Amino acid sequence: MSTDLAEAETRPGPSGRLSGGLLRLATCGSVDDGKSTLVGRLLYDTKSVLGDQLAAIEEVSRRRGQDAPDLALLTDGLRAEREQGITIDVAYRYFATHRRRFILADTPGHVQYTRNMVTGASTADLAVILVDARNGVVAQTMRHCAITALLRVPHVVLAVNKMDAVGYRESTFTAIADEFTARARELGAADAVAIPMSALAGDNVVEPSTRMDWYDGDTLLSHLEGVPLGADPTGKPLRLPVQYVIRQPSGDRGAVERWLAGQLASGVLRVGDPVTVQPAGATSTVVGLTVLGRETDTAWAPQSVAVRLADDIDIARGDVLAAGEAPVPLRRLTATVCHLDERPLRARQRVLLKHTTRTVPAVVEDITYRTDVAVARRLPCHDGLSANDIGGVRILTAEPLAVDDYAENKRTGSFLLIDPQDGSTLSAGMVDTGADDQQRP
């Protein structure tokens, strides 16, 4: 989706709340839980499939000897996925109803592709976690639940799929919903809404089921249309990570104006606002503001802007403009990470840390625990974090960073750990708390 569309969709209304009606959701689940079929059913029953696309799917299904279109083919877009019958990458789909617009991130189910699930869920307002009614809650279910809790996804739907395979029994659904709810609460996940469904038969996805008269709750679509949108980024303190410093002639005796370009991570910025440039701590006032090349008096997150300050202070890419309560620059971070690389993350390992638009050398001072997602318990970690592990770390950076707590600001409270040798991403991190006063630079 283009930045322009994202900005238009999330523009706050007169009340100050988001009014665009755009919901970002991510679907996740184990292999063969029917995730691709569910997404296909959602698109098919909401009339969100183009005619030629549907014709192609019907032709492939006929060649395979299937009487009905295989709706999973609507999302298994990669050739490798078609050959293997699995989803290995994040596939984004866009659809709309008369009540709301949606961006859907279909994430892979295999444990080795957990990094893609993290990518898809990182910006989601809601996560749909599938389980196969025949198998119930499995380890991968709780792994996905733990990640949604870690990423502070505000809403969770437990989609108990393949109810047709268990005779649409209420007792089966209730047992799965109760087990998931109890374990999700231990992981600190958002309150989950459980919905019994059959994506294959179309029960309770878009249309209410006539075969589960014991269920009187929402269908998946009606729940998606009615769930409240996530936190309004314009209600948080201003944060603008500087991406570019642009110098351009002002037309006044060869003078040069300096503009700071970037995307607002949070807050509202107005001409005349006093701002602080972190981590240096210099202060100035906004005297010029443009959005999409047009001058304006006000801009809000997540718009991309260019800002001119009253003072010619030292500013570079990676600095953060802040207003209100500015973040305290830190070199020592306490964070939770989801490790994504096949190579383990170990204590005393040297890495690069990418925070917003700044990348700095860092060292993992200690790995304080590893989370056993099956029992929601922190365990000692002596041999490092393996791929897909979730754990706690302490990190020392070469330069101070203007970080927020992830719970307060996802953009400025998150980071990536990168291998300095080959540039590959090692871990995704969420700042838990800042260091104490003695640890500040």
Q: Rounded CA gap, 415 and 227, in Å?
A: 29
- What are the residues whose beta carbons fall under 8 Å from the beta carbon of 69, sequence distance 6 or more? 44, 54, 57, 58, 61
Q: How confident is the model at residue 253 (pLDDT cuts 50, 70, 90)?
A: low
Could you tell me where the DSSP H helices lie in 217-373? 220-226
DSSP string, 397-436: EEEEE----TTT-TTTTEEEEE-TTT--EEEEEEEEEE--
Q: Say whether pLDDT at 10 is over 50.
A: no
Among all chains, which residue has been given the structure tokens 């649409």? Answer: 168
Backbone torsions φ then ψ of 178, nearest 5 degrees: -65, -45
CATH among 1.10.3720.10, 3.30.420.40, 3.30.365.10, 2.40.30.10 for 329-431: 2.40.30.10
329-431 matches 234-323 in CATH topology: yes
Cross-strand partners of 360: 353
Domain extent listing, the chain:
22-226, 234-323, 329-431
Question: Going by CATH, does the domain composed of 234-323 fall within 3.40.50.1100?
Answer: no
Residue 368 has pLDDT above 70, yes or no: yes
Higher pLDDT, 21 or 104: 104
* For range 370-374, the mean pLDDT: 82
Residue 149 has pLDDT above 70, yes or no: yes
Q: Which residue has the tokens 């859907």?
A: 104
Q: Whose CA is closest to 301, among 60, 4, 11, 1?
A: 11
Mean pLDDT, all residues of the chain: 85
Q: pLDDT digits over 259-303, tens only?
A: 999 999 999 999 999 999 999 999 999 999 999 889 999 999 989
Statement: the pTM of the whole predicted model exceeds 0.95: no
Please, what's the b/e burial string for 380-398 (b: 16 or more CB within 10 A of its CB; e: otherwise)?
ebeebbebbbbbbbbbbbe
Could you report the per-residue pLDDT of 324-335, keeping only the tens digit for each? Answer: 888 889 999 999
Distance, in Å, from the CA atom of 93 to the CA atom of 78, rounded to the nearest integer, reads 14
Q: What mean pLDDT comes out for the span 16-40?
A: 78
33 conformational bin, left if phi > 0, alpha if psi -120 to 50, beta if neither: alpha
Q: How many CA atoms lie within 13 A of 394 on its CB side?
A: 9
Which class for 191: exposed (0-12), middle (13-18), buried (19 or more C-beta within 10 A)? exposed
Looking at domain 22-226, its CATH superfamily turns out to be: P-loop containing nucleotide triphosphate hydrolases (3.40.50.300)
